[in-house]
Amino acid sequence: MSKLSPLFLLLAACGPVLAENTTELMMPDGSKDMYVGGAFTTRTAAAEGETRPVILRPLLQVQWSNGVFVSANGVLGMNVSEMVGVEYGPQIFASNTRNPTDSWRLRGTHAVSGTLDPGGYFNYYLGDETRLTSNLMYDTSAHGFRSYVGLQKTLHELAPHHTVTLSAGASLASNPVMRELYEVSAAAGGTRDYRPSAGVMAVNAGVNWNWALSSKWLINSSVTGTRLGSGPAGAPFVERRNFITWSSGLAYRF
């Protein structure tokens, strides 16, 4: 699982105070809600030996008046932009831990350390509810780079008390990251040697739905379809190139 506790320790050190005007910016899922709660979700397991359990995880999305924000998907960042229609700043990403002994399918792969990875993001608004998103991070476990580029569109007028955000994007990785996650060695017990190169890790499209039950409570749900790039899809332990993940939970809104 993602090691989120160091993020919250860093967040506590910031000492920010909530302010009403922070909701003017879209949050990481594309909405303007700030909330905390819990959700049942499926895990993305392409690099975890194809085990896809349903787990309970926290729902958290908050931004403070000084621009600091945190999300339960393992992101801590800060918006330092003073320009209308532009968001940018530093981010810290929490990555997952993996060991070749976690699944028989992972034999011959590399161990992956759960680390805090530094990086930054840049978002550009094409309209009030549409934005281009991007980020770049340095993976301190693999000693390489990851990046993501995408597009988000938020729909507020579909029905009262409902907000829907559509998204699509692609994630990319350098040679060290791709090989740490997907390289297999026959000498180390793998079924065959496999050595992927830098390129597209995955493309995805999804929908996030916030249903306001009251002024304080909401249901947050999401469904994401993913297609792995050729490098990850060719790994001996990957059985499916296309898969769907989902999440649904209850949260208290600020």
Q: Per-residue pLDDT tens for 48-62?
A: 555 667 888 899 999
Retrieve residue 106's tokens. 């992972």
Q: Which domains does the chain have, with CATH numbers?
A: 5-253 (2.40.160.40)
Q: Per-residue pLDDT tens for 60-95?
A: 999 998 999 999 888 999 999 999 999 999 999 998
Retrieve residue 26's tokens. 């879209």
Parallel, antiparallel, or unpaired: how do β-strands 242-253 and 35-42 relate? antiparallel
- State the residue for tokens 């304080």: 216
Cβ neighbours of 78 (radius 10 Å): 20
Cα–Cα separations (whole angstroms), residue 3 to 84, 107, 183, 236, 239: 34, 23, 23, 27, 26
Q: Which residue has the higher pLDDT, 36 or 159?
A: 36
Q: What is the pTM of this model?
A: 0.85
Retrieve residue 61's tokens. 């999305």
Report the pLDDT value the prediction gives residue 46, as an integer from 0 to 100.
60
- Percentage of the chain lying above the pLDDT 70 cut: 87
Report the distance separating Cα 110 and Cα 235, nearest Å. Answer: 13
Contacts of 160 (CB under 8 A, 6+ apart): none
